[in-house]
A = this chain, B = another copy of it.
Amino acid sequence: MLPLVDHHCHGVLRADPDEAAFEAFLTESDAPAAPGTSFFDTQLGFAMRRWCPPLLGLEPHCPPERYLTRRRDLGAAEANRLLLRASGIGTYLVDTGLPGDLTGPAELARLGGARAREIVRLEHLAERRGAEERDPDKFLAVLAEAIGAAAGTAAGFKSVAGYRYGLDFAPEPPGPAELRAATARWLSAGAGRITDPVLLRHLLWSAAHTGLPLQLHTGFGDPDLRLHRCDPLLLTDFIRAVRPTGCRLVLLHGYPYHRSAGYLAHVYPHVYADVGLSLAHTGARAEAVLAEFLELAPFGKLLFSTDAYGLAELYVVGARLYREALDRLLNGWTGSGAWSAADAERVAALVSAGNAERVYRA
């Protein structure tokens, strides 16, 4: 079986999560489940209980408590090792911009017996620099240098402008005066979370000019965002504006607007789409969701990822759901004669690894 390239994921927790922490990683919600309900009772929860217990020597669908007890008995390091090595992922591209005591790329690669490279989150990079350099002009120079340095080692950049503002930002790069003013405002207010669209756009354009692939959060995520402002179609004018730079844009997740992400990947040569979060969270429905991606997205433009974060289980679930969904779809299409077996095999290799290798030179 071809090792997968997971072009968008995060590290795993070094320590054992307790049951509440574990459950919190199964949802995009920022709050405990409503009274009388549980986030184990979701497609993701059920998929986790299907695929992971057997990897730790338990029967599928065993109760969460039994699974968590077994996991604790093994210890975080051993559980992480067992799970990651069973995921079938051969390369991790790791967005290192999330908080928590998480493994970095090298440690993740070691645990998983795989390769890893870094994806640099633009807002995180800028916020760290803002904590150290409070003069606007110097900050902007330091930022430019940091982005340039990152471009030398990273596999790509990532923006969460969708979370911080929405994707309905002005498409062109900000002018020098408005950029300097926005920078000064932000620095003098303490250089906290960047939400000013002027700064967010500056980060996007700075990354675009490096020539590295640029990942953009689109579609659903935690309640920090307003979902209708994360429709990837809102990026249309930015996509057009950035096209001459040669920057390749990778639209992450997309659900429930994933068909629109597929459309953009279809009509714009520099746009790619990602299955990410959309499969893990839809569980038994991953086949249906993946099929919708495979309507308009050219087969050379769709990329596998897990968006796994915190729990090694999420790598397993993301990878298994993807593989099973793809197998079923392709078997159906070759079985009916709609596709040839050779084409199906070729497309599977592209989406699983080849497209990411081409885009990220990974």
Contacts and interface: CB of A to CB of B under 8 A. Distances in A.
B228 A267 contact: no
Interface in A252-275: 255-256, 259-260, 263, 266-270
A47 interface: yes
Interface in A336-354: 336-340, 342-343, 346-347, 350
Contacts of A301: 34, 37
A279 B237 CA distance: 27
Copy number of this protein in the oligomer?
3
Interface residues of A, number: 74
Contacts of A31: 268-269
Given A46-B343, A295-B289, A34 B338 contact: no
Contacts of A285: 291-292, 294-295
Contacts of A269: 29, 31-34
A220 B34 CA distance: 27
Contacts of A282: 295-296
A337 B47 CA distance: 10
Interface in A29-51: 29-39, 41-43, 46-47, 49-50
Given A42-B266, A220-B296, 8 more contacts: A34-B300, A36-B300, A37-B298, A38-B298, A42-B296, A226-B237, A228-B231, A288-B291
Interface of A: 27-39, 41-43, 46-47, 49-50, 60-61, 220, 222-223, 226-228, 231, 233-234, 236-237, 240, 248, 255-256, 259-260, 263, 266-270, 281-285, 288-289, 291-292, 294-296, 298-301, 332-333, 336-340, 342-343, 346-347, 350, 358
